[in-house]
Amino acid sequence: METIQEVLNRLDSIVDECRINQSRIGYFTILYRQVTRRVRDGILAGEFEDNKRMEVLDVLFAKRFIDAYEEWKSGKNPTESWRIAFEASRNSKHLVLQHLFLGINAHINLDLGIAASETMKGKDLSKIKGDFDQINLLLSELVDDVKANISKVSPIFGWLIPLAKGKDEMLLNFSIQLARDGAWKYANEYHLAGNQNIEIEKRDKNIAELARKLINPGKFLSFLIRIISFAEWKSVSKTMDQLDLILPEKV
């Protein structure tokens, strides 16, 4: 893949596969497709500091998710962060929001820094900081849309959030800003690393641990999750369709 349209075509096919197979990987894929569409529109409108470079970043960034998905689907081992997210997609007990955040966790906390470094290979990484932040802002805005409307697929979700009383940091208030800041720090470490494969392994180990905490956030939140999950829609394809309505394409 070399263009953002090729990325969108592949994301379309993954969404279709997930809908047919009732795979919860489709939840994150729909969100990410919306981000990619928004980046495409921004490039066409000349919104970024370097629009040609943004397309390169977007393609490299998307390719890490798509490659991980293909590896997992073919029985190979993607990064541990993605493996946990993909394996969790088989479990109907996890919330829609958990599935979304597991994908975001792997993609921002691990993949984004690598993609930024690869985009600026042999160049000054700091030059891409503005567009790096912008792609995170777009994702954050779309996640906020999902969280604001999640009650459509999870009727009692909104009722129980106040009960968490600040204990929901690792799940219900997953911070895109904190993930972004950590991703930028990691991008610099990766960019300067002598052995980048070792850097990926080290980072992946830490991000995989965050994924495990998203799945098992402790007794109190796990209790809330069981209650919320009981009332969530069980049809994966129906939930995917609703998420697509929550996040309408901007044209």
> Domain ranges in the chain?
4-245
Closest C-alpha to 36, from 14, 13, 61, 19: 61
What pLDDT does residue 147 have?
Answer: 67
Dihedral of the CA atoms 241, 80, 5, 38 (nearest 10)? 60
Closest C-alpha to 171, from 136, 204, 220: 220
User: Distance between CA 245 and CA 137 in Å, rounded?
Assistant: 21
Extract the tokens encoding 237.
């394809």
Which DSSP category does 248 fall into?
Answer: P
Q: Across the chain, how many H-helices and E-strands are there?
A: 12, 0
Closest C-alpha to 26, from 76, 71, 74, 65: 65
Instruction: Work out the burial of residue 192: count CB atoms within 10 Å of its CB; fewer than 13 is exposed, 13-18 middle, 19 or more buried.
Output: exposed
Amino acid at 3: T
Closest C-alpha to 159, from 172, 170, 146: 172
> What would the pLDDT profile of 41-56 be if each residue is shown by its tens digit?
999 999 999 999 999 9
Give me the tens of pLDDT residue by residue for the chain, a chain 251 residues long: 899 999 999 999 999 999 999 999 999 999 999 999 999 999 999 999 999 999 999 999 999 999 999 999 999 999 999 999 999 999 988 988 899 989 999 999 999 999 999 999 999 999 999 999 888 888 877 777 776 667 788 877 767 656 655 554 445 545 666 777 889 999 999 999 989 999 999 999 999 999 998 898 878 777 778 888 888 888 899 999 888 875 444 43
User: Distance between CA 123 and CA 128 in Å, rounded?
Assistant: 10
> What would the pLDDT profile of 106-149 be if each residue is shown by its tens digit?
999 999 999 999 999 999 999 999 999 888 888 877 777 776 66
Residues whose CB falls within 8 Å of the CB of residue 182, separated by 6 or more in sequence, listed in order: 109
For 218, phi and psi rounded to 5 degrees?
Answer: 110, 165
What pLDDT does residue 163 have?
Answer: 61
The answer to whether the CB of 131 falls within 8 A of the CB of 228 is: no
Amino acid at 107: H
For 155, phi and psi rounded to 5 degrees?
Answer: -55, -35
Distance separating the N- and C-terminal Cα atoms of the chain:
23
